[in-house]
Amino acid sequence: MIKKLWTLMGIYACICVFALAALLPAQPAAVDAVQAMIERVIIQDKLSGDRAIYFRALTSQLFEYLRTVIDGASLKTLCLAGTGAELGRLVEKQLGQSVLDFGQKMFAFFEARTVETKGVDLKTWRTADSDHFAFYYRPGSAAERDLDFIRRSSEEAFLAMVSCLGLEAETQKTFRVLKTDAPQEQSGPEGLSPQGRIAVFLFPVRADGAKTLKFTMGNMSFGATIAKEPGAEKGVGRLTARINVLYLNAFSLAVLHHEIGHAALFLGHYDPTVLAAGPLGGEADLKKAFFAGYKPLPPFLHEGVGDYVIYFQTFYKYWPLLPPPASLSLSLRTTKDFIPLETLLREGARFRAQRHKAYSLEAATVIDYLLRAFGREKLRAWFLAPAADSREAFKKIYGFGVKELEEKWTVDLKAKSDFRP
Ligand SMILES: [Zn+2]
């Protein structure tokens, strides 16, 4: 028998919703012009496979949103684009300085539009799995429609995350003690293989995930349980990892990939030796065994590496319509939102929650710079170093301090700001 005893901690997504946007009906002719432009760009840029899937899915949704914020003449101009780069420049011109707020506003619009859930069965969870994940989705939902792509892109995000720090051996070890989390109303993950996986709950509307998704588009949590044979008093410890995402359309993949980043980093940083050794009899045993393998990770690395994968390895690479991350990060420097690196590395989760937009973007571009300039081994050493003072650990491993890092990073941002991945 497996019993869930407690959940330890949660890490929350960086994309929140602040306002609801108005919904305007789309004109059929305008829709045709958008679809024609999309197909033209796919041919012109020779997009195939996942690149074409991302481009079709995300660009159609982008225009649904743009129709509500720009006029018809400007929309027509966007539809004249012949290549993805051209479309990117035109969109950037339309959005101007608001490009940094773009994601938040667009998600608010999508959410306002999907309040209705006609045809979605909110009483049933369907399940599907991939190598590292068990997905739970509602029949008739957008997640069901996009399921194949959700599975493939989730695996890609996970593997990119693990390989950018060389955590293959660590995550394999932790996966051996992972138990797939199941919905409360189900006794177990029906139809899934017994091998433990990261559970991903894809909620079609916020109300469906009300218990866990009150203020965010996604979050992830870890837990521990005791696996007991029937009638046994003691058992061995098992980890659980669960991601909750409000899945509205393909843009929600960015939220999902970000949460996958947190899960992969946790699993790559956790030492399961004591937890798996057992025997464990109750909550006190379990708590002690769990904490024997748990070391807190600086929020800078959690957020930075997570968003690095979105900006440089998966989502953004496949859909490079917005300005390059280096340009976005540079443009922050002239605003009050900019966070000096010294502060970025010192502050904790509460600060991150208040300044998530600048925090994650800056941290991602710092990680990108460190990986290109000094390689994966140094970043891995920093990631695995005790987190008591991550600035001191940085100095020891890289041989220079955070002030010098800020100078080097700024020079690199200027050199890379015209670069589109
Ligand atoms: Zn996060």
Pairing of strands 198-203, 236-246: parallel
Cα of 119 vs centre of ligand 1, distance in Å, is: 32
Quick one: tokens of 125? 């969870």
Cα of 12 vs centre of ligand 1, distance in Å, is: 5
Place 192 in a pLDDT band, splitting at 50, 70 and 90.
Answer: low
E strand or H helix at 63: helix 49-69
pLDDT digits (tens, 9 = 90+) for 230-276: 888 888 889 999 999 999 999 999 999 999 999 999 999 999 999 98
Protein residues placing their CB within 5 Å of the ion ligand 1? 14
Q: What residues are paired with 224 via a beta bridge?
A: 6, 239
Cα of 13 vs centre of ligand 1, distance in Å, is: 4
d(C-alpha 132, C-alpha 144), whole Å: 18
Identity of the amino acid at 177: V
Cα of 301 vs centre of ligand 1, distance in Å, is: 10
pLDDT digits (tens, 9 = 90+) for 295-337: 888 888 888 888 898 888 888 888 878 778 888 888 887 778 8
Quick one: tokens of 260? 């996958």
Q: Is the pTM of this model over 0.75?
A: yes
Mean predicted lDDT score pLDDT of the chain: 83
pLDDT digits (tens, 9 = 90+) for 350-362: 777 777 778 888 8
CB 353 within 8 A of CB 12: yes
pLDDT digits (tens, 9 = 90+) for 149-164: 999 999 999 999 999 8
Cα of 298 vs centre of ligand 1, distance in Å, is: 12
Cα of 241 vs centre of ligand 1, distance in Å, is: 15
Cα of 35 vs centre of ligand 1, distance in Å, is: 34
How far are the Cα atoms of 19, 304, 336, 411, 413 from residue 408, in angstroms, in the given order? 38, 17, 21, 5, 9
Cα of 38 vs centre of ligand 1, distance in Å, is: 31
Cα of 408 vs centre of ligand 1, distance in Å, is: 26
Cα of 373 vs centre of ligand 1, distance in Å, is: 25
Cα of 305 vs centre of ligand 1, distance in Å, is: 10
Cα of 302 vs centre of ligand 1, distance in Å, is: 7
pLDDT of residue 189 exceeding 70 = no
CA 124 to chain centre: 25
Cα of 230 vs centre of ligand 1, distance in Å, is: 38
Cα of 294 vs centre of ligand 1, distance in Å, is: 18
Cα of 255 vs centre of ligand 1, distance in Å, is: 9
Cα of 293 vs centre of ligand 1, distance in Å, is: 22
> Strand (E) positions, 194-278?
198-203, 218-227, 236-246
Q: What residues are paired with 218 via a beta bridge?
A: 245
Lowest mean pLDDT among 191-205, 270-284, 393-407: 191-205
Q: What angle, 0 to 180 degrees and rounded to 10, lies between the N-to-C axes of helices 49-69 and 84-95?
A: 30
pLDDT digits (tens, 9 = 90+) for 7-30: 444 444 433 333 233 333 445 566
Q: Which residue do the tokens 């980093």 mark?
A: 265
pLDDT for the residue numbered 417: 74
pLDDT digits (tens, 9 = 90+) for 40-86: 999 999 999 888 988 999 999 999 999 888 888 989 999 999 999 89
Identity of the amino acid at 171: T
CB 132 within 8 A of CB 198: yes
Cα of 351 vs centre of ligand 1, distance in Å, is: 12
Q: Which residue do the tokens 């901690």 mark?
A: 9
Polymer length in residues for the chain: 421
pLDDT for the residue numbered 235: 85
